[in-house]
Chain A
Amino acid sequence: MKEISELKLPENVKYTEDHEWVRPADGKARIGISDYAQDQLGDIVYVELPDIGSTFKKGEAFGTVESVKAVSDLYMPVGGEILSTNTALEESPEWVNGEPYDEGWMIEIKLAAVTEPDSLMSRDAYIELLKG
């Protein structure tokens, strides 16, 4: 498992306590799980994502991620409508492990409130959370 100093934690996303990330742009946002989350889960073997067009509130489960260790729910960091999902993960769930912020993204949403991501954690605040 990685030390905190070894984790990839980009500046251009916001983080949640449940270890999801959000990258907002133009009223939309991409969402996935952090490098810490994928490292804790171990090898991801399956990702279940929602139907396009469905709407979720902040904190609602939008899907599940299954690793060799466990199945975990994925929670909406912010509210919104699903515009697209990363269907490539059906064939290549390992991208969540290798490139959690790029090829391993999970959903793209239309933000219910454009400013909602501002309330989430910055990189520095997230590192503090991980240090406990």
Chain B
Amino acid sequence: MKDSQGTSGLILNEPLLWEKGKPGRHGFSFPRRDVEINELNENLIGEGPDFPDLSEVDVVRHYTRLSQWNFGADTGMYPLGSCTMKYNPKTNEKQANLPGFAKAHPFLSSGLSQGVLKLMFDLKGFLSEITGMDAVTLQPAAGAHGEFAGMLLIHAFHKSKGMKRTKIIIPDTAHGTNPASASLCGFRSIPLKSNEDGILSPEAVSEIMDAETAGIMVTNPNTLGLFEDNIREVTDIVHKRGGLVYCDGANMNAVMGIVDMGEIGIDVLHLNLHKTFSTPHGGGGPGSGPVCVGKHLEPFLPIPRVVQTNGKYSLSEDFPDSIGKIHAFYGNVGVMIKAYSYILSMGPENLKKASQLAVLNANYIKEKLKKIFHLPHDKPCMHECVFSDKFQKNNKITTHDMVKRLMDYGFHPPTIYFPLVVNGAMMIEPTETESKEDIDFFIEALAAIADEAQNNPDRVRNAPQKCKVRRLDETAAARRPCLSG
């Protein structure tokens, strides 16, 4: 292979801000006083906060250095499974920075906010069209918040029918936040094992779907990167027995414009705009987790809602069955603008093509590496593929060791030890962002690491060598976390 991307270039250390600066140093000067001196009310006098005294250059260098320790999709390939770390086109930022959007304020009257309200109204329509669902709320701030809102909607639906249902079925291939969201809403999670093909069997669902069960939370495609082939039968069983079907749409990047979620029997679906629709992710900014529902759940959606009357847009709270407000104001509007920009830049055909390429890329990696790494489910995958460390364990090399070594080659590690149903899982999601050359380079790097695991295992065990820091003490960090500066 060509030279590794990783080098041991000069990276500067940087202390905490509290360890920098000197008393009296500052970053700006007050303007000359142009009013009379007025004594401060004594009740307002007290000790100031414990902030260090710093100059402007102290602060700029501090944050620039920290940013240089970082690795993001703008730096290189970031194949973190189930996170869809695709590249975020810069045009999204440009649109969100237009003064009409950037300077909008939630306290402005709707008459002065027609542009942003129209954008939100139209975005709901686009998301409906892309998913095949009837109605949308943009309020939830992230995926798990969307799941929680979805659970509240399901609860509200059953309550309106005079039913009390307390259980939710959660397959072992669902996202880890699903049972947490269900519990937070007061439901009891009933775990369900997937079958030997890594998907749900309708018989297993049928066995536990009873009159006390409010519904099922499926992740589709699931966390093994597999499409739930039996989804139609599963949703039929759940519906026949009075339940509803929640779909975790975090993996929507595999099926945009391809699967009609309403058609396959989904009642509630959340989307992650910060995954599928290319808005910044993780430390890069706030998220957004819109929830899409079928017609029968629309009355319960959160308020306020953007409505249109005679070509004018306004916010309405006049929905008596609503579950209420779930976010201050209307959610993270800046994120919505970026997703709207992405959807319009791509258009329907290219959104579909993005999904097709994401799936093709994952299958290419799966086929190229399946002889080198154990592949628990050898069948076509969706946008991500899951290997394990079964072959490398013979040399006492674990998934953890190999992904640390991958950093030396200049790649962000994939998701590891998840899903739990695969021992030593390594979950790779390349997304549509990467070119064939970059994917080949990634494959070569992983193949080289498998070779090292065989012939030079200590090199893998002692990785990373080229990162700013070596292996961190994850155990001490979890057992004795230091949470203050």
Contact = CB atoms under 8 A, between A and B. Distances in A.
Interface of A: 1, 40, 43, 45-46, 66, 68-70, 72, 93-94
Nearest to A43: B475
A82 to B, nearest CB: 19
B208 to A, nearest CB: 14
A130 to B, nearest CB: 13
B22 interface: no
B479 interface: yes
Contacts of B479: 43, 45, 93-94
Contacts of B478: 43, 45-46, 66, 68
A1 B396 contact: yes
Interface residues of B, number: 12
Contact of A69 (B393, B396, B417): B417
Interface string B381-408: 0000000000001001010100000000
B43 to A, nearest CB: 43
Contacts of B204: none
Contacts, number: 24
Nearest to A94: B479
Nearest to B480: A45
Interface of B: 393, 396, 398, 400, 417-418, 420, 423, 474-475, 478-479
B475 A68 contact: yes
A42 B250 CA distance: 29
B417 A45 contact: no
Contacts of B400: 69
A39 B46 CA distance: 54
A40 B418 CA distance: 14
A23 to B, nearest CB: 27
Given A69-B417, A70-B420, A45 B475 contact: yes
Instruction: Specify which of B393, B418, B478 lies most central, judged by the most chain A CB atoms within 10 Å of its CB.
Output: B478
Given A1-B393, A45-B478, A68-B478, 19 more contacts: A1-B396, A1-B398, A43-B474, A43-B475, A43-B478, A43-B479, A45-B475, A45-B479, A46-B478, A66-B478, A68-B474, A68-B475, A69-B417, A70-B417, A70-B418, A70-B420, A72-B420, A93-B479, A94-B479
Nearest to A61: B191
A46 B478 CA distance: 8
A46 B398 CA distance: 23
20 contacts: A1-B393, A1-B396, A1-B398, A40-B423, A43-B474, A43-B475, A43-B478, A43-B479, A45-B475, A45-B478, A46-B478, A66-B478, A68-B474, A68-B475, A68-B478, A69-B400, A69-B417, A70-B420, A72-B420, A94-B479
Contacts of B423: 40
A70 B398 CA distance: 15
A1 B423 CA distance: 13
Contacts of A40: 423
